[in-house]
Amino acid sequence: MKHLNSLKIYNIKKGYLLLMFPLLTLCIFNIGYSKTVNESTSIKGYLYLGVVERHVEAKLEYKYVPIEAGISEVSFYLTNDVEIDELHGHGIKDYSFSKENAQIPFGILTVEFKEQLEIGQAIEFTLSYSGRSTKGFWPNKYKWIDIDPDFMILPSFTDYHTFDYEIKARVNDSDYKFVDAKNQQMTSRLNVEATSANYFSSIVAGSEMNFNQFTEGSYTVNIISNKADSVVNYLGNKSLEILKFFNNTIGEKKKVNSFSVLYRPMPDSIFRTMRNLTNDRLIMFTHNHDLIHTLAHEVSHFWWNRGNDYTMEKWLDESFAQYSELLYVRHTEGLEKFQEKVNHLEKESQRLPSLLKSDRFGKNWSDILYVKGPYLLYQLEEVLGKEKFMLLLSNLNEVEVSNTEEMLNELEKISNSEVRNMFYQKLNE
Ligand SMILES: [Zn+2]
């Protein structure tokens, strides 16, 4: 679980860096699920989408509840494609919408309050805006609308303030249906609700997308796609295989029975593969379906989903997910293919600095998490042997370790203090 406090350490510049991360990585931050205040900030409203016109229109009712004292304004990233139609509320003094911002491809909307707010002192206001969006609309080639959180078609607090929301999304073309992952259906009227997210989840709509269900024993996988049956069947069967593999390895003591894959009707040059930020176990898949091991990485995150995202503790998510992907490759494609990938990690790791001592936002962050981290796990498996290593992985998920110290404690439990010290040394060198 993550806490609100972890958000406060970021200034706007780092917040922006963070924001750009999803564009660069396979994965996306998945934070802010915990609720630490009784009354939290909430947003309710409508989002209207005009397909051919690429028109967006939003009317949002905010109840903003500060988590620290002395707040006199609040700001949001918001696409600079829109104009503010209305912003009013009893305690609102003024607002400004600056469309040109250095190094930030969004506008920044700042709302000024008449007086400074105390902790927990709620203020309400209405925000309406509209415009023609240059992002998220592919009516011709892919018949697809994607209100991806990175596009800032829905505003995000620049300080990553946590909020609950309830958005009713509507589209003006009856050929288009929204993906309703929660109710496992396509729908023309989407009501999306999320509790304590600091980011909106994607709202997506398309033409001729179908839910296809695959089951085996107690496992169920939904593939949402408009692709040919052969492709959908392949993805469905592979998804079941991945689910089964992880439930028998990393998730042996904590089973996951189902998930959904949204197979976007466009190539991965447009979208990355990611998990939805708030919905239950939804993976947005965009790769060519022959790159199925990428899906395994994402599925493994149903277990590897902890560790502070803002520090190198994120290795507890990403390095483990990446190594889990390799374990799946070993399981399905054999030792030779696995070794080939390990050799690559080994070679690349030579040039990389210490995992734990590195800066989370330094220039090598990605390779340290996705290359060096998994290589260290490979080395640990070599020391422990396959059986003990698998025991460790399933124990980590059973206990739900949340930091490196706890991980090392679990390691020591199944081995000894020398192994613990050796591995700690490796994490530091
Ligand atoms: Zn990942």
pLDDT (tens digit per residue) in 340-384? 999 999 999 999 999 999 988 888 999 999 999 999 999 999 999
Backbone angles phi, psi at 92, to 5 degrees: -90, 130
Report if residue 148 sits inside a domain: yes
CA of 27 to the centre of ligand 1 (A): 4
Report if residue 321 sits inside a domain: yes
CA of 189 to the centre of ligand 1 (A): 31
CA of 322 to the centre of ligand 1 (A): 7
Q: How many domains does the chain divide into?
A: 3
Residue with tokens 């396979």: 26
Same domain membership, residue 192 and residue 222? no
Instruction: Measure Cα distances from 394 to 107, 254, 335, 353, 362 in Å.
Output: 45, 8, 22, 28, 31
Q: In the prediction, which pLDDT does 29 show?
A: 41
The number of beta carbons lying within 10 Å of the beta carbon of residue 398 is 14
Q: Please tell me the distance from the alpha carbon of residue 420 to that of residue 18, in angstroms, as a whole number.
A: 32
pLDDT-above-90 percentage for the chain? 73
CA of 22 to the centre of ligand 1 (A): 10
CA of 317 to the centre of ligand 1 (A): 7
Q: In the prediction, which pLDDT does 285 show?
A: 85
Same domain membership, residue 260 and residue 194? no
Report if residue 307 sits inside a domain: no
Same domain membership, residue 188 and residue 84? yes
- pTM score of the predicted model: 0.81
8 Å CB contact between 44 and 200? no
pLDDT at 17 over 70: no
8 Å CB contact between 428 and 354? yes
Q: In the prediction, which pLDDT does 101 show?
A: 87
Same domain membership, residue 191 and residue 42? yes
pLDDT at 13 over 70: no
CA of 318 to the centre of ligand 1 (A): 5
Same domain membership, residue 287 and residue 165? no
CA of 25 to the centre of ligand 1 (A): 8
Quote the domain boundaries for residue 254.
Answer: 210-300
Which band of pLDDT confidence, cut at 50, 70 and 90, is reported for residue 195?
Answer: confident
- What is the pLDDT averaged over residues 304-333? 93
Residue with tokens 């109840």: 63
CATH of the domain at 331: 1.10.390.10
CATH of the domain at 56: 2.60.40.1730
CA of 180 to the centre of ligand 1 (A): 24
Domain's final residue, options 247, 277, 300: 300
Residues by chain with Cβ below 5 Å of ion ligand 1: 27, 318, 321
Same domain membership, residue 191 and residue 121? yes
Report if residue 306 sits inside a domain: no
Same domain membership, residue 220 and residue 202? no
Domain's final residue, options 274, 300, 326: 300
